[in-house]
Every structure is written in C-alpha cells, then in structure tokens.
Amino acid sequence: MKHIIIGTAGHVDHGKTTLIQALTGHNTDRLKEEQERGISIELGFAPFELPSGRRAGVVDVPGHERFIKQMLAGVVGFDLVLLVVAADEGVMPQTREHLDILQLSGVKSGLIVFTKMDLVEPEWLEMVEEDIRAEVQGTFLEAAPIYSVSAITKEGIPELLAAIDRATDSIVERVHAGPFRLPVDRVFSISGFGTVVTGTLLSGTVKPGVRAEIYPAQREIRIRQVEVHGEKVDEAVAGQRVALNLAGVSVEEVERGSVVATPGSLLPSTQIDARLLLLEHAPRALKHRERIRLHSGTSEVLGRVYLLFSEELEPGESTLVQFRLEEPVALRRGDHYVIRSYSPAATIGGGIVLEPVAPRRKRFNVAVKAELEQKEKGDPADIVIHALEQLGPKLSSKEEIARTAGLALEDTDHALGALFSGGRVVTLIMEGTTYYIAQGVLQALLDQAEEVLARFHREHPLRLGLPLEELRTRVFRGVSARALPELLRLPQAAMLKVEGERVRLTTHVPEFTSTQAEQVAKLKRAMAQSPYQPPAPLEVLTGLGAGKDAAEILTALLERGELVQLAEGVFLTREALTEATAKVVAYIREHESITIGQLRDLLATSRRYALPLLEYLDDRHITRRVADKRILGPNASG
C-alpha cells in the first residue's frame, strides 16, 4: 500500500488546524498554550483516512513568523501540501515565505485551499484568487486547483476531501528497500518505556529489535518498539509517520534535528557542496563567507556560505557553493535544504546537496567546477545506482534497469559494468540471464537476515535453521522463492548457509547437550520397545525431565529425520517407518492389497497408527488407495 504524508502551509490564523480537524476529526493542537492562544506553536500530527481507503499522515505546521523553524522541520517528507489562505485576508507574509520554503524543499504536489469562505462575498473571493494566482506563478502550485471551504459550515469540505484523494493517486511511492532514515522532529519520554522519537520515515523499512544509529552523534542504539498513528506495528515503511521507542539512549542524548538511521548509512560532516538559488525577492545580494542558518531535514545549523566562483550572489541567481558549518549534519546527495539569513532571520534561498561529505574546496578552481557540475548532472552510473535502489531487493535484468533509469540499453550496460567493477552492484546469473542488485541494498538485507537468524538461533538453539520461505517473507520479500537460495550462495552472503529448505548462520552448530543427548537416547529406546505403537515423544521427554526443552528436542529430531510425524500426535522413529514400509510392500506383493485392519494385525498396532501410516505412504505414492484397500503405487521399491 502506498503511504503518503499530507502537510499544511500558510499564514498564522488562516485556519490550517481547523481545516485539518474538519477533514480528519483530529485536533492537531496538543499543547495547552496552543489551545488557549488559538494558534499552532509546535508541529501537529494526525492520521487521515481518505475516501478510497488509503491512509495518510497529516503534518500541520505553525504559521506564525516566530515559528518558521518549526515549519521548516515539518516540511521534510511532504508528498502533498495544502496551501491555506484565509478568504477574508488573502495572501500574507507567511503565505509567501511558506511558499518559498515549499518550493526550495522540493515539494511537487499540492492544492490551494481558501478557508473562511462563509465570511466573504463571491466578488471578494475572485480578487483573492487573482492574488494567489499571481503569487504562485512559476512555482509547483502554478496550475494547482483552488478549493473554497468553510470548516464551520462544512461547505466545500466533501469536495476538498475528494480532491485530496484524487491528488494522492499520482504520488510516487517511496523506496522501501535499502537503509532506513528518519529525521527526528519530536523527542519525549514515556514512563516505563523510555525515550521516544517521532518523524517521517524518508526511506527504507524499520522494525522492532533492529540496530540503529543516531546521527550526527553516531550513537548506536536498538529500536525497542515501532508505532504508526499510535498503534504498535511489526514494521514501518517509507512514507509513514513513525514513533520509535529507543533502547540505549536517554532523552537528553537525542534532539529534534537528529537522524535515526541504519548503522553506517550516513556520515556526519561540517562541509557540504551544493547548488544554491538566492530567491528573487531576497532583500539583498549574498556575500562570500556570509553567516547563515542552514535547514535540512529537521535540523537547523549555523554556518557560513563559501561562494566558490563569485564574491557575491545577486537575488534570482544560482551558483555552486560550499557550506562550512559550526556543527555536523548527516545528509545524503540530492537532499533539499533551505537557508535563512543569520539576523534578522528570513528565508533567502536553498537548493540541493551535491556532496554531503566534501573536502575543503579551492575557489575559482576549474577542476572543482567540473567535478561539481558532473555530480549535479548525474552521470549514467549515478542514475543507474539510484534506479537499482528504487528497485530494491528485486533482482532486475538490464532491460528492467534501463526502463527504470530512463536510459538507453547501451548506456545502462556501460554503467552497470563500471558499477560492478567498483563493487557497487552485485550480479547473479540464472538460466542464462544476468540479474543485478545494488550492493548497498543487498548488504542491508543481509545484515537484517543475520539479525533475524541470530535471534532465531538464540530462541531455538537445537533447530537446524529457519525455513527459507519464512526468511523470504520476513526479509527478502522482493526476491522470488526460486532466486533466494542462489542469492544466499553469493560470496557477499558468506555468513549464511543454505541447507535444503533451511538457512542458518555458518557459526551456528546445533548440538544436544549431554543431558539432552541422554534424554534422546532414552526416548528412542522407549519407542523401540513398541516400534509401531510407541509412546508419545513429548510425554516421554517430559517424564525424563526435559521440561520446557521437550518441544524443542522433538522439533529438532523431526528436522533431522530421526523421528517422523504421521499425523497430529502420531510419531514413529525413522527405523520403525522404514521397517513398516518394507513390510507393507512385501505384504501387498504377496496378497495384492492390504486393508487398515490387515495392516493393524501385521504390525500389531492400532487403527490410530495404521491409518496415518497408510495415508503417509499414499502421499508418497508408495501405495495407492482403491476403495477400502491399498495396492502398490509407482514409488514402491523392489
């Protein structure tokens, strides 16, 4: 299912929170001060059930100019925005600043909503529409439809709700494979649980029990619990609003602006190369080494902008820059950012990160310019690796990758060769076709598989391994059942061992303890005394003092083939089954058929054992049922 984040934007007191309550039934103003003052101060969140059944998350941002920092933290992860304009006031300063921030942050989809329509005449509404159309010209909202509503009378709310639902159809689903990343927008502590952080999951999948890292502090932690919209879940995926209960860290050690992500997936840095656009209505030119506030994800960091190829940047112009920051941040190439002037704080520009961990650059250097322009352009190898990350765990052919990347097959082939040589992609040949997967995606999957298997071995030390299909369901969901064993035999999966239909860690050697081995020997002797009507293994093991280990010992014996289960509660030793099968085959050869009663007498057993034994032999085509008799099947041996 596609997961979507819907955000609000607009001037203070233009009805954003009231609109969200009318649409969702939830009041996102959770603070007492917010409810007393009637304005949003902090970010608000709510689940949003759309008419189609799709479930979205809503992020409601403050509109007051004093809380722009909170608004900037909320924009990260927006898939669709509602630009809210009060019909009785029209376009206001924060309408413009919020629009600038949305544009600079890379938001691509949105609707314009006029609230408080019950307070104005139609003629006034037409003038407000003319103003907003002029304001959004040249932005991603230039062609956005406008909806007029009243959250009080509910006029226009059903139409807006349907429009939001339609708008979500065209939103591209986020990448669920590869490392997960969650910029933290809220931190708090719950008695009995400890530290909890919330945010929008930008990429990947996160589950309870996995290891994680807090950036830029690079503090290793464990995810104790995962919630989506207040409900515990077994996993959360990119595009969802997520709450993570963290183990191994206090509430003082994580803050808004931190990033919780897959260990080793990010590298903090204080030097970032970027493309910077200075807004047309910036109050003045930006000077080299000017102090600025850089907002990225949910963080705000002070620093200076180094203009690499000029002494100043005029409003409306763009250039290549390096930011040298006073504190480290953890970003990825392609992330959007916004800068605000140091004092007074005002939004003046933004752009895209080209190199999140950059060396100190020389100014006016031709080689530096060529390097950054190439990174900005994105060579075929960069485009292909991005396509592979989008394809995730799915093993993809060259043709599938070319289609996803939008490249010619020849360019894709060349890029894949370079990526393979550089160790960034892994190949797997099946039935004459070469398939590809990004090394980063594969490694993240293998790390997760190792964690799952380590936990399984701790809980079930006597078991040979986890069933392959269960591992595929839990970790490798994008990989076919046919391909998974081959994938796990690659050199990169050296820690995993496939044996038949099971997989284990190579370090896991299941062995009975001396006490358990003695209990197993006594169990087999007890079953051998009455081989075709033996005692129940669990009862014997319990009587021998196996206690809570009895079920694990029985399962281990079944996996190793030392015992065979014919039906619920009906077990034979492998030796007894082999002997019984030989007697059945010999009897039928002599008498042409056998009945349940005849088998019962032949083996001196009961119907409870005779019937499951014949059904077991039928399933393996050793015998074949004809009316109430069995005759020999095609697999009957000599």
Please give the DSSP secondary-structure letter assigned to residue 254. Answer: -
Is 240's pLDDT higher than 50? yes
Q: Average pLDDT for residues 137-160, to the nearest whole number?
A: 92
Contact present, 248 and 199 (Cβ < 8 Å): no
Pinpoint the alpha helices (H) of 150-293: 157-168
Q: What is the pLDDT of residue 17?
A: 84
Q: Tell me the backbone φ, ψ of residue 594, rounded to 5 degrees.
A: -150, 145
Are the beta carbons of 86 and 152 closer than 8 angstroms? no
Determine contact, residues 520/470, Cβ cutoff 8 Å: no
Superfamily of domain 4-168 in the CATH hierarchy: P-loop containing nucleotide triphosphate hydrolases (3.40.50.300)
Exposure class string for 390-416: b at 16+ Cβ within 10 A, else e: bbbbbbbebebbbebbebeeebbeebb
- Predicted local confidence at residue 192, as pLDDT: 80
Q: Do the beta carbons of residue 41 and residue 33 sit within 8 Å?
A: yes
- Do residues 298 and 197 make contact, with C-beta atoms less than 8 angstroms apart? no
**Is residue 600 over pLDDT 80?**
yes
Instruction: Read off the tokens for 600.
Output: 């019962």
Q: Note whether 355 and 321 are within 8 A (CB).
A: no
Residues belonging to the chain: 638
CATH 2.40.160.10 fits 269-377, yes or no: no
| One-character DSSP codes across 178-212 | S--EEE--EEEEETTTEEEEEEE--BSEE-TT-EE
* pLDDT score of 64 more than 90: no
pTM of this prediction exceeds 0.85: no
Query: Which of 81-85, 128-132, 381-385, 597-601 shows the lowest mean pLDDT across its residues?
Result: 381-385
For residues 308 and 359, is the Cβ–Cβ distance under 8 A? Answer: no
pLDDT at 412: 85
Phi, psi values for residue 103, rounded to 5°: -65, -45
Q: What is the pLDDT of residue 565?
A: 92
Average pLDDT value for residue range 596-615: 93
pLDDT per residue as tens digits for the range 469-505? 999 988 998 888 899 999 999 999 999 999 888 999 9
Burial 422-448 (b: 16+ CB within 10 A, else e): eebbbebeeeeeebbbbbbbbbbbbbb
Write out pLDDT tens, residues 264-287. Answer: 778 899 999 999 999 999 999 999
Amino acid at residue number 520: V
Looking at residue 405, its pLDDT comes to 67
Residue 472: what pLDDT? Answer: 92
Whether 378-510 shares its CATH topology with 514-632 is answered yes
pLDDT, greater one: 147 or 62: 147
CA distance 276 to 256: 24
| % of the chain residues with pLDDT over 90 | 54
pLDDT in tens, 369-428: 987 887 787 778 887 887 788 788 889 898 888 766 656 677 888 999 999 999 999 999
Tokens standing for residue 574: 């492998």
What pLDDT, on the 0 to 100 scale, is given for residue 32? Answer: 43
pLDDT above 50 (res 31): no
Per-residue pLDDT tens digits for 39-55: 343 577 788 888 888 88
Residue 421, number of CB atoms within 10 A of its CB: 9
- 181-261 folds as Elongation Factor Tu (Ef-tu); domain 3 (2.40.30)
Lowest average pLDDT, out of 110-124, 548-562, 609-623, goes to 548-562
Domains in the chain: boundaries: 4-168, 181-261, 269-377, 378-510, 514-632
> Cβ distance 339 to 313 under 8 Å?
no
Q: What is the largest CA-CA distance in the chain?
A: 105
> Is residue 38 scored above 50 in pLDDT?
no
pLDDT above 60: residue 35: no
Classified by CATH at the fold level, domain 378-510 comes out as Arc Repressor Mutant, subunit A (1.10.10)
How much is the average pLDDT of 449-473? Answer: 91
Mean pLDDT in residue range 337-364: 91
pLDDT at 129 over 60: yes
In the predicted structure, residue 1 carries a pLDDT above the cut 70: no
For the residues 120-145, what does the mean pLDDT come to? 92
Q: Check pLDDT > 70 for residue 9.
A: yes
Provide the CATH number for the domain formed by 514-632 in this structure: 1.10.10.10
Cα–Cα distance between 423 and 409 in angstroms, integer? 21
* 357-371 pLDDT per residue, tens: 888 999 999 988 987
Condensed to tens digits (0 to 9), the pLDDT of residues 206-218 reads 999 999 999 999 9
Where is pLDDT greater, at 94 or 260? 260
Helix or strand holding residue 598 (H, E): helix 596-603
**SS3 call for 136:** coil
